[in-house]
């Protein structure tokens, strides 16, 4: 879909990629096959976002609550993620994608930490699209971590309580330079945030679709962007 088709293109789109397991179950496949298909869907959306001129795309890949899933599924998810980094890093670099990660990254396996550090460094100077991957991420934990960091600065006399503002708080988030999402998409029919970008989403537009994530293709992305384009954003004003 050509960029000028829409009245407006969101600067930042965030996606809760939900439904991999249900997609696999519907097809009589193991859950892991759904995650593999989910990687392919993510690749398509990244390419489309870059072509349309979206500047930031955040993908909720693995929540901090997902650590509670069966260990064999968690291990497979990280082996799949490690494989994806190896397969697609050159393509991301070639297409001008800058990759950043946010979450409790210290909890990740050592090889994953090394892989994401390398990919972040290799793509640091790219500027066509910033791809943010939320990995081992939980918004409540992010808010607690930011609060602790601010409290420490107050206790050490670096700032006073009166210095604490919304902007102060924002500067202590995992990626303070990341603009708030204009549009948050959730697939699979669920209608909740699931601990995703709670602080940043105060005025985000929301789009829910029953389509399972592996089936979320260019046409489905187009529907979400067209819906966003037809909305009037007031930010609490008239």
The answer to whether 89 touches 58, Cβ cutoff 8 Å, is no
Query: Phi and psi at residue 100, in whole multiples of 5°?
Result: -125, 160
- Residue tagged active-site, from 4, 7, 18, 180: 18
Catalytic residue list contains 66: yes
* E strand or H helix at 100: strand 97-102
The answer to whether 81 touches 61, Cβ cutoff 8 Å, is yes
The answer to whether 20 touches 212, Cβ cutoff 8 Å, is yes
135 - beta bridge partners? Answer: 62
Q: Residue 235 and residue 172: Cα distance in Å, rounded?
A: 23
189: left (phi over 0), alpha (psi -120 to 50) or beta: left
Q: Residue 238 and residue 235: Cα distance in Å, rounded?
A: 8
Catalytic residue list contains 40: no
* E strand or H helix at 151: helix 139-155
In residues, how long is the chain? 238
User: Which DSSP letter does residue 56 get?
Assistant: E
Residues with Cβ within 8 Å of 215's Cβ and at least 6 positions away in sequence, in order, are 23, 41
- Residue tagged active-site, from 4, 7, 66, 126: 66
CA 200 to chain centre: 12
The catalytic site residues sit at 18, 66
């Amino acid at each position: 879909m050509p960029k000028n088709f829409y009245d407006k293109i969101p600067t930042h789109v965030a996606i809760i990629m939900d439904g991999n397991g249900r997609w696999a179950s519907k097809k009589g496949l193991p859950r892991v096959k759904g995650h593999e298909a989910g990687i392919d869907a993510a690749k398509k959306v990244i390419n489309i976002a870059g072509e349309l001129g979206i500047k930031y795309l955040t993908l909720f890949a693995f929540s901090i609550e997902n650590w509670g899933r069966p260990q064999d599924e968690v291990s497979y998810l990280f082996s799949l993620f490690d494989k994806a980094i190896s397969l697609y890093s050159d393509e991301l670099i070639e297409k001008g994608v800058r990759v950043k990660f946010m979450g409790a990254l210290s909890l990740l396996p050592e090889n994953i930490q090394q892989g994401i550090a390398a990919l972040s460094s290799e793509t640091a100077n790219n500027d066509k699209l910033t791809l943010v991957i939320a990995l081992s991420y939980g918004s409540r934990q992010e808010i607690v971590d930011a609060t602790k960091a601010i409290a420490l600065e107050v206790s050490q006399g670096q700032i006073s309580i009166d210095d604490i503002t919304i902007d102060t708080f924002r500067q202590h988030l995992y990626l303070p330079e990341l603009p708030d999402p204009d549009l948050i998409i959730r697939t699979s029919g669920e209608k909740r945030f699931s601990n995703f970008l709670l602080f940043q989403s105060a005025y985000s537009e929301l789009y829910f679709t029953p389509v399972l994530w592996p089936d979320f293709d260019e046409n489905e992305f187009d529907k979400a962007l067209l819906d966003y384009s037809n909305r009037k954003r007031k930010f609490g004003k008239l």
